[in-house]
Amino acid sequence: MNIKHQESRFTSVAHDPLDSRHHGAINIPIYQTSLFAFENHEGFERAMLNVLDHHVYSRGNNPTVEFLEQKLLELEEGESAKCFASGMAAISAAIMSVIRSGDHIICTNQAYGPTREFLGTYLERFGIETTFVDGSSMEEWVTAIRPSTKLFYLESPTSGMFELQDLEALAQLAKGIGAVTICDGSWATPCNQRPLKLGIDMVVHSITKYIAGHSDCLGGVVIGSHILMDRLSQTEYMLFGGIMTPQSAALIIRGLRTLPLRMQRHQDSGLRVAKHLQDQAYITKVNHPGLTTHPQHELALRQMLGFSSLFSFETKEPVEKVKAWADHLRYFKIGVSWGGFESLVTVKEIDDGSIKGKWTLVRLYIGMESPEDLIRDLDEAWEGLESSLTIRMINTPNV
């Protein structure tokens, strides 16, 4: 797939008309202020009637943050956007804005861990129940519906096993029962997927990842219709106060300018490395929606515009051995998150009680380095580990 055909959309989003208030500055200034003062009390009182339409206090509106919100809503083709301090601040605010005590939520069982904890454990305190389903099975979503179901929470693709949900079909199903749909689109970014165009009500992103793109700040965004976003802005946004700082907004605006270029590189490098790994004897399966072997590849081609570069592979090699392999890697850093320059790796053992038994899952994030260097790194670390294990075996006396 080619992200280039979308570039004109990004040209207009990244190209800002000169604003005389900023003396022609080519970058929006960082409005480092907590409050905005008024020339007279009458103007102040007028603004206080609707603080979200005026500049009164930065836990409401800040021009640098608003500038970013405007760009993000244009990219998603939504009506309104609000930025938050992190992806989780955006996700929890979006969820809270559409549910109340006694409601029921359905969510894919592959959603990001803290999101599942928020839905399944935290919200239980307020009498809100969540049913977790196999998100790829329409039948499970239908079966889980109750008269009190008010929200379908989606994350497509997910960031561990890279499962997709059928966004259009689920949006229709939810509309039929009067439920709202929220979709976490962090993996795809607005370059590669537009959930609102497929009928989803609200899209959330962890901006921390690809959108910011440099591992130097955190952020989140919720984008949706005026009706849903006005409600969220007046309550969860203003009352919880998990707002984005103007410094983070400025870094993210800078990152946005190269988003399509970076995503094209991530797509190409990610697929290149994933295809290479598919051929390795020690790997049993590579989970990447862009591979023809992915069970939902057809759905991916239908609802996505391209792919990114976070994926996982499965191996029957013991987890301790695979961790030792990760220790041998030169370019891949061991760490959480993704979306910045540097490639990342994490290893964990999975024991889901299935007949598969225990197995090892490796998550790889393919950064901006040369894909040839990354492939060499992955191969050499494995060869290095195998030969050091062989030497250790030869040197270990039989007892």
Ligand X SMILES: Cc1ncc(COP(=O)(O)O)c(C=O)c1O
Measured from the CB atom, the residue of 159 and 325 that comes closer to ligand X is 159
Choose between 109 and 278: whose C-beta lies nearer to ligand X: 109
The nearest distance, CB 389 to ligand X, in angstroms, is: 33
What string of DSSP letters covers 126-151?
GT-EEEEE-TT-HHHHHHH--TTEEE
Q: Do the Cβ atoms of 223 and 78 come closer than 8 Å?
A: yes
CA atoms lying within 13 Å on the CB side of residue 392? 6
In the complex, the smallest distance separating the C-beta of residue 88 from ligand X, rounded to whole angstroms, is 4
Q: Which residue is nearest to ligand X (CB)?
A: 87
Residue with Cβ nearer ligand X (135 or 382): 135
Distance (Å, whole) CA 161 – CA 76 = 25
Q: How far is the CB of 87 from ligand X (least distance, A)?
A: 2
Contacts to ligand X by CB under 6 A: 86-88, 112, 155, 159, 184, 186, 206, 208, 218, 220, 337
Which is nearer to ligand X, 155 or 268 (by Cβ)? Answer: 155
Complex with ligand X: residue 234 or 337, whichever CB lies closer: 337
Q: What span, in angstroms and rounded, lies between the C-alpha atoms of 69 and 224?
A: 12
What minimum distance in Å lies between the beta carbon of 112 and ligand X?
Answer: 4
Question: Closest distance between ligand X and the C-beta of residue 219, in Å?
Answer: 7
Residue 116 structure tokens: 């599942």
Report the residue number, 86 or 108, with the smaller CB distance to ligand X.
86
Could you tell me the two tokens for 275? 């295809």
DSSP-assigned letters across all residues of 255-319:
HHTTHHHHHHHHHHHHHHHHHHHHT-TT-SEEE-TTSTTSTTHHHHHHH-S---SEEEEEE-S-H
Q: Shortest gap between Cβ of 189 and ligand X (angstroms)?
A: 11
- Residue with tokens 């938050």, as numbered in its chain: 84
